Structure 1
Amino acid sequence: MFSIIVAAHGNLAASLMESGEMISGEAENVYGVEFRPGENTDTLIEKYNIIINGEGLADSKILFLVDLFGGSPYNAASMLAMKNENIDIITGVNLPIYLETKMNQNSKELEEVVSYIKEIAPSTVVSFKDLAANVEEDDLDED
């Protein structure tokens, strides 16, 4: 089992968690962090440490799901990950990635989930035009 910290600009983390709850129920050991205007990486590190220390996660495995590679939520998490081998980070979080991570956090090891998420991430983005181009006209005709 591992804990999840979702960190993103604005309300994205809270919205992902709320949407995830609608689809798959309440989450355990999942924490959201919002990055607000006027804050910086030091502010985020403080927020992360409040969760980690307040929830007793200092010796636990933690997966950060952040929005942008190189953004402040990522940069702050990477500073913690450099000092703690139990922390990993996935960037580009979206609802399918959040749900897969949340639904596997109690049954799989952190490393296994990270590997799986990296494998399925491309499939979380689908273009309608690409799908439509592969459908033959006969498939669209109703009898």
Structure 2
Amino acid sequence: MIGILVATHGKFAEGILSAAKMIVGQQSQVSFVEFAETDSIDGFKDRVYQSLKSFGKGAKVLAFCDMFGASPYNVLVQNYPQLNKDIEYQVFCGVNLPILIEALLSRNQYQSLDDFTKHLQQMAAETIKIQNFDFYKKG
């Protein structure tokens, strides 16, 4: 099973996982790390490292973060050289609830982390919709 880690600013990671749990139920091999205003980068980096390591040697993990180029993303990238011998992981930037739910529900269908992330990337555009209210104006 592909593990899921969510690393974000503030309480976003805990909140989005709580919402996902309401919809799809309790999931195994799921973790989160939050970067609080009071955290140091080094402390956050260590917590992310420990969280990734907790998935176990040989694990495949998809690490979601909230923004490309921001601290959670940078820390995930910086931890890669120390972990890539033991854990295969990729970073997916721009987590939202629909894509997280898709990841949780479809991760058992994939042996390859590359194929899994490609699937999610293709699905990502479908998770954002803009509601048009023109039908209210025609009346």
Do the structures match in fold with TM over 0.5?
Answer: yes
How far did 1:40 drift? 3.6
Q: Give the secondary-structure state (helix, strand or coil) at the position aligned to 2:32.
A: strand
Residues 25, 82 of structure 1: alpha-carbon distance in 2 compared, 3 angstrom cutoff: same
Q: What is the identity, as a one-letter code, of the residue corresponding to 1:39?
A: D
Q: Is the 8 A contact 1:90 1:114 kept in 2?
A: yes
Q: Give the secondary-structure state (helix, strand or coil) at the position aligned to 2:45.
A: helix
Residue 98 of structure 2, aligned match among 82, 93, 96: 96
CA offset digits 1:40-76 (Å, max 9, x no partner):
43222211222233x3524311110000001111000
Q: Is the 8 A contact 1:41 1:75 kept in 2?
A: no
Residue 126 of structure 2, aligned match among 112, 123, 127: 123
Give unpaired runs (5+ residues) of structure 2: none
Give unpaired runs (5+ residues) of structure 1: none
Corresponding position: 1:27 with 2:30: no
TM-score by length of 1: 0.83
Map of 1:61 onto structure 2: 60
The RMSD of aligned alpha carbons is 2.2
Q: Is the 8 A contact 1:52 1:58 kept in 2?
A: no
Report how many residues are paired: 135
Q: Give the secondary-structure state (helix, strand or coil) at the position aligned to 2:108.
A: coil
Q: Give the secondary-structure state (helix, strand or coil) at the position aligned to 1:38.
A: coil
Corresponding position: 1:108 with 2:139: no
2: CA distance, partners of 1:81 / 1:24 = 30
Residues 56, 68 of structure 1: alpha-carbon distance in 2 compared, 3 angstrom cutoff: closer
How far did 1:107 drift? 2.2
Map of 2:14 onto structure 1: 14
Identity %: 27
Residues 93, 56 of structure 1: alpha-carbon distance in 2 compared, 3 angstrom cutoff: closer
CA offset digits 1:57-115 (Å, max 9, x no partner):
24311110000001111000011234517110000000011111111222213222200
Q: What is the identity, as a one-letter code, of the residue corresponding to 2:51?
A: I
